[in-house]
């Protein structure tokens, strides 16, 4: 009996460690992207990190194709996870020698793709545990989207938008955009920055709708419990 359970336990432990490693790599990629945008690296450091980044791309690509071959519907998998595949391709390393890649806007756009790497394993991890509520999952995703869009805005607006003096200004602009307040004191002026702002507006609308639904469900639940208790009290003993 124990001999039959051992392989299953080993498989479960392997999956847990695998998920942990993939999440660590996702956090590392986002952290590296943040530092790269806010405080640019030296050329020697960038070369080392570029090699690490290339290795991480290979890991994410292997993960993507493994689950593609494992999935029952390959077309559905590609339809749902094409962003993960696109973001895992090491465009920076492939296109770096080409002259046109040195163009300012093209380089900035490809750099932001790095932040989307690991999208497939991240969604797989969030949906694996059914006990997590929709609100907790959406709050986690909102945090990721807020961080990514803030970096994206700073990436596009830095040096162009006169209202932005540093990354804290972008964090404030992203927060007011996400909460649909939009004071108007700071706003994006580039096309890329406006796209990031639009993503934050849509995310904020979804979060507000979900919070409203959760609050309504909570009130209904309290009302139902109160009515049941009142009915029990009215039953003659």
Q: Which residue has the higher pLDDT, 113 or 105?
A: 113
Residue 26 in contact with residue 117, Cβ under 8 Å?
A: yes
Please say whether the beta carbons of 204 and 141 come within 8 A.
Answer: no
Confidence of residue 104 (pLDDT cuts 50, 70, 90): very low
Q: Point out the least confidently predicted range of 49-63, 164-178, 214-228.
A: 214-228
Rounded CA-CA distance 57/91 in Å is 10
**Is 0.85 surpassed by the pTM of this model?**
no
Higher-pLDDT residue of 127, 162: 162
Q: Which residue has better confidence, 134 or 219?
A: 219
The closest alpha carbon to 150, from 24, 33, 1, belongs to 33
32-36, 185-189, 201-205, 229-233: least confidently modelled range: 229-233
> In which band, very low, low, confident or very high, does the pLDDT at 147 lie, cut at 50, 70 and 90?
confident
pLDDT of residue 103: 44
In 39-73, alpha helices (H): 43-70
Segments making up each domain of the chain, as ranges: 1-128, 130-237
Residue 225 is predicted with a pLDDT of 58
Spatial separation of the C-alpha atoms in residues 44 and 55, rounded to whole Å: 18
Q: How many other CB atoms sit within 10 Å of the CB of residue 23?
A: 14
Q: Supply 158's token pair.
A: 């830095």
Q: What is the pLDDT of residue 106?
A: 47
| Mean of pLDDT values over 135-154 | 80
Question: What is the residue-wise DSSP string for 5-47?
Answer: HHHHHHHHHHHHHHHHHHHHHHHHHHHHHHHHHHSPPPHHHHH
The CATH number for 130-237, chosen from 1.10.3720.10, 3.30.450.20, 1.10.287.70, 3.40.50.300, is 1.10.287.70
Per-residue pLDDT tens for 172-194? 888 888 887 666 678 888 888 88
The Cα 151–Cα 157 span in angstroms is: 10
| Both tokens assigned to 61 | 């690509």
According to DSSP H, which parts of 114-190 are helical? 119-128, 134-157, 167-178
- Assign domain 1-128 one CATH number from 1.20.120, 1.25.10, 2.30.30, 1.20.1050: 1.20.120
Question: So what's the pLDDT on residue 74?
Answer: 83
pLDDT reading at 93 higher than 80? no
The answer to whether residue 105 scores a pLDDT higher than 50 is no
Note the pLDDT tens digit of each residue in 19-32: 777 777 777 777 77
């Amino acid at each position: 009996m124990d001999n039959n359970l051992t392989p299953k336990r080993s498989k479960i432990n392997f999956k847990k460690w695998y998920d942990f490693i993939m999440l660590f790599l996702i956090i590392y990629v986002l952290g590296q992207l943040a530092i790269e945008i806010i405080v640019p690296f030296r050329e020697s450091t960038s070369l080392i990190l570029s090699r690490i980044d290339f290795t991480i791309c290979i890991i994410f690509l292997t993960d993507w194709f493994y689950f593609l071959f494992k999935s029952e519907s390959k077309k559905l998998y590609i339809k749902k996870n094409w962003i993960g595949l696109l973001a895992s391709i090491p465009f920076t390393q492939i296109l770096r020698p080409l002259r046109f890649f040195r163009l300012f806007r093209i380089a900035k756009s490809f750099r932001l793709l790095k932040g989307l790497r690991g999208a497939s394993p991240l969604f797989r991890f969030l949906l694996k545990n059914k006990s997590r509520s929709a609100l907790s999952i959406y709050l986690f995703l909102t945090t990721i989207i807020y961080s990514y869009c803030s970096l994206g805005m700073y990436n596009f607006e830095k040096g162009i938008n006169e209202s932005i003096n540093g990354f804290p200004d972008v964090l404030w602009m992203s927060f007011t955009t996400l909460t649909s307040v939009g004071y108007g004191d700071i706003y994006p002026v580039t096309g890329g920055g406006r796209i990031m702002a639009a993503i934050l507006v849509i995310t904020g609308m979804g979060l507000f709708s979900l919070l409203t639904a959760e609050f309504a469900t909570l009130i209904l639940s309290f009302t139902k419990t109160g009515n049941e208790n009142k009915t029990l009290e009215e039953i003659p003993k």
